[in-house]
Structure 1
């Protein structure tokens, strides 16, 4: 839905704004990087959860994509996308919805890392005449879920799936530990470790006589710095579309690459404390404090002018539900932030901030805005 750009300053705040030019630049860079290294890019659509955004990310409806909820899978299937990996461990109470997608002709893949899950999947499939496509999740760094690549359960699960009416499509790992890296060299090491773990798991499965066509790796940091994708089929990344302050601290992007901000209005001052009050609290910015343990702590977001130019060292320092507080450093006074002025806040974690909004304002050029609805629910 187009909106005249001149109306940007009159929009009710707070709202989430996407800089479309930066968004497209981010998409193009990673797509070219991964393609040049002989892999497919399977973008994670969870950051924006928007069909409109997906049209830019994946103009080919048969391109592989990743989702984090069944609600996303259903919405993207309705929009025409045909190859979707649900990258969260499956539960038996979700199999009926997963089966419904498969019966619609969607190439829908589910994820598991236990024999109990595998048994539930195959039992349901046999009972309801559904062939599930399965990925086994591999733990490459101890970050979260999955099985170590040398865990005998990897092969046991693969054999069970293969022998009981489901299809073992591949293995998948997520280098979530890369988010704790202190340098680009550490990210590169995490990327190498991620690829090695996924390759080793796939090789063990194949050695046991079970086909394992796809080897899937990915995180935004490792996707941008991995060099050797030998034996890797596809790479997943999500927050690369808009980036955020966590990615900035990791050295994955620059300030000029961050394509998401929350537009807010100055609603008050506390002159005694040198505080500026804004109408964006945690309901607009989220409570994510992902930069707190990094080299620069940006509080609840970096404050920028309405043009997008950042104020050096000025951050949202505390939030209530609908109020944000900017405790100004001594180099600034509240007089620089008149009541009624608009500001932009760059997010710590783009996925968390986007989740606080039902739609986004997208600045596509100098004279056009669009509204992109967000897919809600699970």
Structure 2
């Protein structure tokens, strides 16, 4: 098939660009001797994840549905990297009983007590990472906070060889998405590393094994200069990249492997608008570039071959309609004919991919070489 045979909107994945992106990060991390634990929430596809690592290699998930799916496809070393809710522990147990080595995450005494009690009652051996806040971005305990050791003590209290146990620490430098230079991302990467290592050292000094020190974000993974004391790095959007990553200087436009194919369905000539059949239901509501120096609207516009069209962006979006215009001069918008196929590069690859049920896979052109299913939901 060819792209022009698809019904639009459709999600397009350039396999060649994706493979280059994967090789780039693996090469970047190789000198540090750490494990790459990719975050499969971005792709939600066994076909894509096999390009990163064979079934059985470590992965990170953000939902238990992802854990279920990837276990069924052969991945067993699974980190569930969202704070555990007690109501999900029976699901975690089912996964563990089916052969998953699943690790859970928490950052408070209440959750630790719930996990410890459940594991003791069900004779479940469960590794637990304590989330550490190294940048004030989201969840976690500060590396030097007394609560870190309090949480660990609650988990260890019921560790009789079968219960929950302190496997280590995890942090995510989400604030790296707000950096405005390579030097700033490098500094954030070191802040992330140092905070996680400090927390793990405190746990070990208190008698906990804490063998795992898990760090990661796509920006810091690409700019880190040292990983002393770190055992694994997590990243997800590196597989596809997107306009936010481009705006941070992490990737070039040609590295973005994901796009949405759409069709011009009309014009508003007096306004300088092209109307397409891809709105925010196809692109997502994510406007991550709005706070960057260059605002890409809802996405950068390319021709059907994936080549950027100068200064054209999806400036606005309704549910099923996208409005394309010149970014600074609507009068300069080319009135492309109805039926013209365009490809829109997304702000946030995870959010855009989540709107679709499959990837139409190409290799740098318009020939479709495969269709890879993906899933969504919880």
* TM-score bracket for the superposition, by shorter chain length: over 0.9
Find the aligned partners of 1:92 and 1:34 in 2 and give their Cα distance: 35
Q: CA deviation at 1:145?
A: 0.3
Greater mean alpha carbon deviation, residues 48-57 or residues 170-179? 48-57
- Picking from 86, 94, 103, the partner of 2:97 is 103
Aligned residue number for residue 355 of structure 1:
354
- Picking from 31, 35, 59, the partner of 2:30 is 35
**1:136-157 CA distances to partner (integer Å, 9 max, x unpaired)?**
0000000000000011111121
Aligned residue number for residue 372 of structure 1:
372
Q: Please state whether the residue corresponding to 1:308 is helix, strand or coil.
A: coil
Find the aligned partners of 1:74 and 1:168 in 2 and give their Cα distance: 23
**1:237-278 CA distances to partner (integer Å, 9 max, x unpaired)?**
000000000000100000111000000000001111111000
CA contact (8 A) 1:35 1:41 kept: no
Aligned residue number for residue 322 of structure 1:
320
CA contact (8 A) 1:271 1:334 kept: no
Q: Normalising by structure 1, what TM-score? A: 0.96
Please show how residues 245-324 of structure 1 align to structure 2 within 5 Å: 245-324=243-322
- Picking from 62, 69, 76, the partner of 1:82 is 76
Corresponding residue pairs, total: 371
Q: CA deviation at 1:98?
A: 0.4
1:246/1:365 CA distance change after superposition, 3 Å: closer
Find the aligned partners of 1:365 and 1:77 in 2 and give their Cα distance: 31
Aligned residue number for residue 197 of structure 1:
195
Q: Please state whether the residue corresponding to 1:316 is helix, strand or coil.
A: strand
CA contact (8 A) 2:325 2:333 kept: no
Find the aligned partners of 2:299 and 2:201 in 1 and give their Cα distance: 44
Q: Please state whether the residue corresponding to 1:26 is helix, strand or coil.
A: helix
Q: Normalising by structure 2, what TM-score? A: 0.96
Find the aligned partners of 1:274 and 1:62 in 2 and give their Cα distance: 52
- Picking from 226, 231, 234, the partner of 1:228 is 226
CA contact (8 A) 1:64 1:83 kept: yes
CA contact (8 A) 2:3 2:368 kept: no
RMSD of the TM alignment (CA)? 1.2
**1:62-90 CA distances to partner (integer Å, 9 max, x unpaired)?**
21110010000000000010101000000
| 2:124 matches 1:130 | yes
Q: CA deviation at 1:131?
A: 1.4
Q: CA deviation at 1:368?
A: 4.3
CA contact (8 A) 2:4 2:341 kept: yes
Aligned residue number for residue 6 of structure 2:
11
Find the aligned partners of 2:30 and 2:101 in 1 and give their Cα distance: 22
Structure 1 residues without counterparts, runs of 5 or longer: none
Aligned residue number for residue 215 of structure 1:
213
CA contact (8 A) 1:168 1:212 kept: yes
Aligned residue number for residue 43 of structure 2:
48
Structure 2 residues without counterparts, runs of 5 or longer: none
4+ long deviations beyond 6 Å: none
